[in-house]
A and B are shown apart, each in its own frame.
Chain A
Amino acid sequence: MTIREDNRLLDGAPMLPLRCAQCGTRVRVRKSSWHQTSIQWDAEAMDACLERRASTPGGGPNGGRFPSCEALRQTIKQAALDGAIPVPDDHYGPVATVPETP
């Protein structure tokens, strides 16, 4: 199978580079709405993230996964508010747009 590019990245906004305000880790970020955020990490970023390094596995069979970096979340939120990461204003996410079902 060939790996194909997401049609939304081809036709819409790209993933934009952003540095974490806390540790300087560089990731690529995109928001399709105020509610939605995509983050692409690379190996260097995964090594550099302080919260990730400090994290301990949570409980349960899936607890080994690092859930998210809160500092990066804050950075992205601020970048969105400042306009550094553009947010299309006409998207509200599926929850707000689903129709009533009979």
Chain B
Amino acid sequence: MTAVGSEHDGVRAIEAEAAPTRFARGWHCLGLSSRFTDGKPHTVKAFGQKLVVFASGDGKLNVLDAYCRHMGGDLSQGTIKGNEIACPFHDWRWGGDGKCKSIPYSRRVPLRARTAAWTTMEQDGLLFVWNDPEGNPPPADVTIPVIEGATRDDWTDWVWSETIVHTNCREVVDNVVDMAHFFYVHYSFPTYFKNIFEGHTATQIMKGSGRPDARPPARNGEPQMTGNTSIATYHGPSFMIDDLTYHYDTMDIKSVLINAHYPIDANSFVLHSGIIVQRSDALEGEAADVMARKLGDFILKGFDQDIQIWKNKTRIDNPLLCEEDGPVYQLRRWYEQFYVDVADVTPEMVERFEYELDTTRPVEAWRKEVEANLARRAAESQPA
């Protein structure tokens, strides 16, 4: 074999450690809570485990390790009986707190009859589960903000979808900073772009105009999309809320987009997208629902474009960045906080970092100002 290049020739090597087998500390969204309230237990593969999600008789959604501590039966194949999930193997009854409440054929429950239970939260029609490898409850200041429109009549219901992606979930998080890919993969044209990483949040602010070469022309009488303003924040490692306004030639449409995921294991994750749209004079009644579905499809197309890339790319810990790329290394430094014990979170992981690209002031304007500056200084330094 003739080597066209080797380390000696200065060929850049791609470096990548194996994807972590530890799963991120934080709130993870399991999807629409209504999906889990059909009276049946549900199997969810997450965090390298099999979980059972069930609505107890009191209406609460519970998440337990799916494997029964008796003889290993799969609780997610069992039956909901009152406030408990009954194992299909020998009918042991498990409460949402993880404790075995009763064994129908035994007078006494043995000691230590307790299984792993996850802290859950229902908010805005969504089910969240708290994952922490250290087993601590969620701190009071680590929350998912309420999305007002989600429960209001003047907004549509969620248009929700989920897909399994076979790669490590760091790939989806990387998108927060990947400015250039919006142009090449999603055909949008950012004129202003900003990232802010601080504490457990990572934000992307983007103002863009549609690319005339990529968008379909508006049909007669239909409004033409001219651009969008997006303020998107990851609240923790996996749940991003995008406050997204679409600009049309005749109106603005307000929407909230969710981009969330939870890991199945180190090499696959479930990707969720959800959208709600505000009803307005321009978008009354049904029209808003139609628009939500349309935008939902549009967003799914965007994800499909990403997934095509992720399916075929390789994991890379040492991306070779040019000056025009976004802050990939700083984002990953932020993301690392969710993969270490709380005691090992370092200041650099959580301290505020800003990255801004503002192209609204042309380079020529900067140049002129520099020249004027130099001229003024030269004049000032003239001996009197």
Taking Cβ atoms with an 8 Å cutoff, the residues of A that contact B are 1-8, 12, 32-43, 45-46, 60-62, 64-68, 80-82, 88, 91-98, 100-101
Taking the closest CB of chain A, its distance from the CB of B148, in whole angstroms, is 7
Known contacts A4-B329, A5-B329, A94-B324; is A40 also within 8 Å of B353 by CB?
yes
Q: How large is the interface on B (under 10, 10 to 19, 20 to 34, 35 or more residues)?
A: 35 or more
From A43, A61, A65, A96, B351 is in contact (CB under 8 Å) with A43
Chain B residues lying within 8 Å of A6, measured Cβ to Cβ, are 321, 327-330
Taking the closest CB of chain A, its distance from the CB of B234, in whole angstroms, is 10
Chain A residues lying within 8 Å of B366, measured Cβ to Cβ, are 34, 80-81
List 7 interface pairs A-B (beta carbons < 8 Å), by A numbering. A3-B348, A12-B323, A37-B354, A40-B353, A62-B231, A94-B179, A95-B191
A62/B327 in contact, CB under 8 A: no
Q: Is B384 an interface residue (CB 8 A)?
A: no
B369/A64 in contact, CB under 8 A: no
A32/B323 in contact, CB under 8 A: yes
**Chain B 134-190 residues near chain A, CB threshold 8 A:** 145-148, 179-180, 183, 189-190
Chain A residues lying within 8 Å of B203, measured Cβ to Cβ, are 62, 65
Which residue of chain A has its CB nearest to the CB of B358? A35
Chain A residues lying within 8 Å of B148, measured Cβ to Cβ, are 61
- Top 5 nearest A-B pairs (CB, nearest first) are A41-B352, A6-B329, A32-B323, A62-B233, A34-B366
A1/B317 in contact, CB under 8 A: yes
B336/A94 in contact, CB under 8 A: no
Q: Is B60 an interface residue (CB 8 A)?
A: no
Interface string of B357-377 (1 = CB under 8 A from A): 111010100100110010000
Known contacts A1-B17, A95-B191, A98-B183; is A62 also within 8 Å of B243 by CB?
yes
Which residue of chain A has its CB nearest to the CB of B18? A1
B324/A91 in contact, CB under 8 A: yes
Known contacts A1-B20, A61-B256; is A8 also within 8 Å of B321 by CB?
yes
Taking the closest CB of chain A, its distance from the CB of B177, in whole angstroms, is 11
B373/A82 in contact, CB under 8 A: yes
B323/A39 in contact, CB under 8 A: no
Chain B residues lying within 8 Å of A36, measured Cβ to Cβ, are 323-324, 355-357
A92/B363 in contact, CB under 8 A: yes
